[in-house]
Copies of this chain bind each other. A is one copy, B any other.
Amino acid sequence: MDPRLDRDTSNCSIARTLEIVGEKWTILILREVWYGSSRFSDFERVLGCPRNLLAARLRMLVEEGILTTETYKEPGSRSRPKYVITPKGMDLVPAVMGLLHWGDRYRADPEGPAVLARHRACGAHVDIQIRCERGHPVQAEDIESVPGPAFRMKSAE
């Protein structure tokens, strides 16, 4: 990965993921879904996010298959839509756990984090780790990035 090479970065998986979840509010909406919110008004109240953006982000997350809509019915009210996470959305958990853990470490209040992630089965604190296919824990420094099958160079302009 010589930095002087003119790599074509248009098919970068990080950039492509950020195209979807990199806009303001998107990850925070997903956070609230994980914490149990599902209704438009819940997101609005807890996030304090403008309604038109909330509507736009929810629509996009549904289009991308990260959320899906179901209906709920409060007694005495009509059916309304709610937003639930899909398996594709659950697969974003590790990335967001990474952000959470970094914030806990470097930007938390003196008394500690606001939210703790626990293993439901045993109650122990959960964290993310990097491992290689053989199961060895890997330090970030020991990761080597190499060109993959879709690696491309910039074509001459």
Contacts and interface: CB of A to CB of B under 8 A. Distances in A.
Chain A at the B interface: mostly helix, strand, loop or mixed?
mixed
Interface residues of A, number: 92
20 contacts: A1-B115, A3-B38, A11-B108, A12-B28, A13-B101, A15-B28, A16-B103, A17-B99, A22-B27, A88-B106, A90-B141, A93-B140, A94-B102, A95-B101, A112-B150, A113-B148, A114-B151, A119-B136, A120-B142, A124-B132
Interface of A: 1-4, 6-7, 9, 11-18, 20-22, 24, 27-28, 31-32, 34-39, 42, 45-47, 88, 90-109, 111-122, 124-134, 136, 138, 140-152
